[in-house]
Amino acid sequence: MACSSPRRRTSSFTAATLLLLGALFMANLDMTGAQVGICYGMMGNNLPPATEVIALYKQYNIKRMRLYDPNEAALNALRGSGIEVMLGIPNSDLQRLTNPSEANSWVQKNVRNFWPDVRLRYIAVGNEISPVNGGTSWMAPFVLPALVNVFNAVRAAGLQDQIKVSIAIDMTLIGTSYPPSAGAFRGDVISYLAPIVGHLAYAKTPLFANIYTYFSYSGNPKDISLPYALFTSPSVLVWDNGRGYQNLFDAMLDSLYSSLEKLGGGNTLDVVVSESGWPSAGGFGTTSDNAGTYLSNLIRHVKGGTPKRPGKAIETYIFAMFDENQKQPELEKHFGAFSPNKQPKYNLNFGGERAWEISAEHNATVSLKSDM
């Protein structure tokens, strides 16, 4: 997926319900110690202007943002906001950035011209490029040189300690994911990933990974239960070398850690979850109930780490801020935490004990318990 990556329904709310949702949403994200951000995708023709979007982030105390390209209006609106930003370089720009002078120009225009007014935290060089994906495979040779050139340009600006430069992958690059300790990348992507992982280890920079339990569940519902995908399983479902897995998210992330270790990344290379979410419509298992449950539980869960790396908070970016009506297929239009009219779709209550009425008109509720 892509956080501009183009991924419910606008409902009528009472003023009291909106205030309650806003307060709960704000508490939800604040309690994570700002570990959780939200991806700001722009593939919609009905989205609010950037100034209003940044105000919405501040209103709901969302302290981190993933931005998919250096959109000038968004970067200007971010000035002085205090929001930390993962700034994306579009896949279409990577070939050009294999030229070091072009990388220097890109950093001058999109980083130095906004720093420190805009708190850039990361630069993501491309998104979900795979040497075995027909749609992006032609770009794979550009990733490492573009990554190194942008890293060098950031270092030349003296910002290498403040801004980390990495790439964002999806989980299709993993060939073995079960059990998590056996996690390993596909054999036909090793030559692509190994030098990238080596560079990230050298630069002490995390790998970015887009992790969606939704797609694993919807693609294999016979073997993956809905509660396991939604963090609502009441007990451990998978044991692996003494580690118990009660949810699919941990299993997927730990399989990635294992894959990185086998590739030479050691056990010190961190992973930032650069996208994770659940659609509220458009496909199998897509309901507002499931989406609200997943997001609420995700925000609470990432404070505590995984069985393989317990006690270490997982920096995570929810996909996405808004429903984006220009994305395809239909499923991709319904990942928003907010509707385009800036109304929250879910209460994201940490307690998980109550269901709040979202729309009397549609008789829709967001229950924080799975229909196990």
Whether the CB-CB separation of 3 and 41 falls below 8 Å is answered with yes
H or E element, residue 65: strand 64-67
d(CA 164, CA 69): 16
Looking at residue 68, its amino acid is: Y
Max Cα distance, the chain (Å)? 57
Tokens of 311: 């006690």
Nearest to 47 by CA among 278, 235, 239, 326: 326
Tell me if residue 46 falls in helix, strand or coil.
coil
Show which residues are catalytic.
128, 275
Q: Which DSSP category does 18 fall into?
A: H
For 318, the 3-state DSSP assignment is: strand
Q: What is the DSSP letter of 369?
A: S
Q: Of 270, 269, 147, 286, nearest to 212 (Cα)?
A: 286
Q: Which residue, among 293, 166, 192, 152, has the nearest Cα to 233 in the 3D structure?
A: 293
How far, in Å, CA of 165 to CA of 146, rounded?
Answer: 10
SS3 91: helix
Residues ≥6 apart with Cβ < 8 Å to 265: 197, 200, 201, 207
CB distance 241 to 259 below 8 Å: no
Cα–Cα distance, 197 to 122 (Å, whole number) = 16
Q: How far apart are the first and last CA of the chain?
A: 28
